[in-house]
Structure 1
Amino acid sequence: MSFEEMESPFDHTEPTSHHHGGGGSGGCSGGCTLDCVCQVVRAIKDIQDQAEEECEACTSNCFVEPLGDLGVRGRRDADTRVFTLTHKNGELFKALFRGHQGKCVSVFFRVEEIFDNCCATLRVLVPLRKDGKTVVDIMDTHGKVNFAELCEVRDWGRSNSCVTVDLHCFCAVQCIADVDLELCD
């Protein structure tokens, strides 16, 4: 399926009737009722699944095809589109992964599966520096994202940790890069 054939999440003129409760900080309460994030994550999954060897000129959004064209033009060995999710309150969604000097929080994900009404299983990606070492201080002492450390991330590694989420709970998705985590060999 080409980009032109995919339904854009922005083609909808009326919000859907999805509104999920859940309350709490950054939860599913209020505000975001469109299936925008769900549609984008579905598109990311489709692009990852198709991973063909073509080149596209535009590299600035989550709908860029084929996999490998986001960030680095013509990268032909990508199997993952790295992305972040943002809650209504503007905070990045974070999840735990195992190991790495007791520091095990990430805001970077790979979609593994989408099922039911926009539920998704996401693989938590390990944030890495240019030298391949884990960025261990993504969170500050108050539990907030440490953006100075976040800006040090230059690559990503795979973890064996996954989280299942309701995509209706997020208001934004940002695609970061296409990388090869050697998951699809």
Structure 2
Amino acid sequence: MSCNDKHYDVNCVCDVVKMIAEIQDVNTDFSCTTNCLNPVLGASNNHGMRPNTRVFSLYTKSGERFFASFLRNNCDDAESPFFRVESVEDCCAVLRVLELEGRNLSMCEFRATTQCIIVDLNCFCGIACIEDTFVPGV
């Protein structure tokens, strides 16, 4: 999705992230396939836990994937392009950096890091939803 896409009457990254924040706060028993514009979080993951997070990546206006740094438990610096929205006000969002556990996106599990960043969503032009999943500790 880009800033100029009029798909589903959602025309920018800011609106999509606001919608994701709203659906993460709603408890429902519905299950749907995952994409950024689904109004509910998807079906249970392979651990039987109801998803509580819509994992997504952001793309800069130059088309590059956005990465944020975080510290691993062993104090090594790491980067991740995966986020969970914690809150949004206007187009200012608090995003929690998520770490992909394992190397295979087809069987991925995400871990919430302690790193949160504040971003201006107007600075991004693309968003890609990865999956709806249960992230412990959020």
Q: Where on the TM-score scale, by shorter chain, does this alignment land: which range?
A: 0.7 to 0.9
Asked whether the 8 Å contact 1:128–1:153 carries over to 2, the reply is no
Deviation at 1:153, TM superposition (A): 7.4
Deviation at 1:69, TM superposition (A): 3.9
Tell me which of 23, 28, 38 is aligned to 1:64: 38
Unaligned runs of 5+ in 1: 1-7, 13-34, 130-134, 136-149
Q: Residues 9 and 44 of structure 1: is their aligned pair in 2 closer, same or farther, counting only changes over 3 Å?
A: farther
Tell me which of 26, 33, 50 is aligned to 1:77: 50
Query: What is the alpha-carbon distance in structure 1 between the residues aligned to residue 53 and residue 38 of structure 2?
Result: 13
Structure 1 consecutive aligned stretches of length 4 or more whose deviation exceeds 6 Å: none
Asked whether the 8 Å contact 1:51–1:78 carries over to 2, the reply is no
Unaligned runs of 5+ in 2: 1-5
Q: Which has the higher contact order (CA 8 A, sep 6+)?
A: 2
Deviation at 1:103, TM superposition (A): 4.2
Which residue of structure 1 aligns with residue 79 of structure 2?
105
Which residue of structure 1 aligns with residue 136 of structure 2?
182
* Bigger fraction of residues in strand: 2
Deviation at 1:111, TM superposition (A): 0.1
The two structures, once aligned, show a CA RMSD in angstroms of 2.7
3-state SS, counterpart of residue 56 of structure 2: strand
What fraction of aligned residue pairs are identical, expressed as a percent?
38
Which residue of structure 1 aligns with residue 31 of structure 2?
55
Query: What is the alpha-carbon distance in structure 2 between the residues aligned to residue 112 and residue 167 of structure 1?
Result: 13
> Normalising to structure 2: TM-score of the pair?
0.81
**When the two structures are aligned, how many residues end up with a matched partner?**
131
1:6-85 equivalent positions in 2, closer than 5 A: 10-11=8-9, 36-56=12-32, 59-69=33-43, 77-85=50-58
Deviation at 1:155, TM superposition (A): 1.8
1:124-163 equivalent positions in 2, closer than 5 A: 124-129=97-102, 154-163=108-117
Which residue of structure 1 aligns with residue 3 of structure 2?
none
Q: Residues 82 and 54 of structure 1: is their aligned pair in 2 closer, same or farther, counting only changes over 3 Å?
A: same
Deviation at 1:92, TM superposition (A): 0.7
Amino acid at match of 2:14: C
1:34-80 deviations in Å (ceiling 9; x for gaps): x6100000111111011311123xx252121321249x6xx761111
Larger Rg: 1
Query: What is the alpha-carbon distance in structure 2 between the residues aligned to residue 37 and residue 79 of structure 1?
Result: 20
Which residue of structure 2 aligns with residue 94 of structure 1?
67
Amino acid at match of 1:86: Y
Query: What is the alpha-carbon distance in structure 2 between the residues aligned to residue 152 and residue 182 of structure 1?
Result: 19
Bigger CA drift: 60-69 or 160-169?
60-69
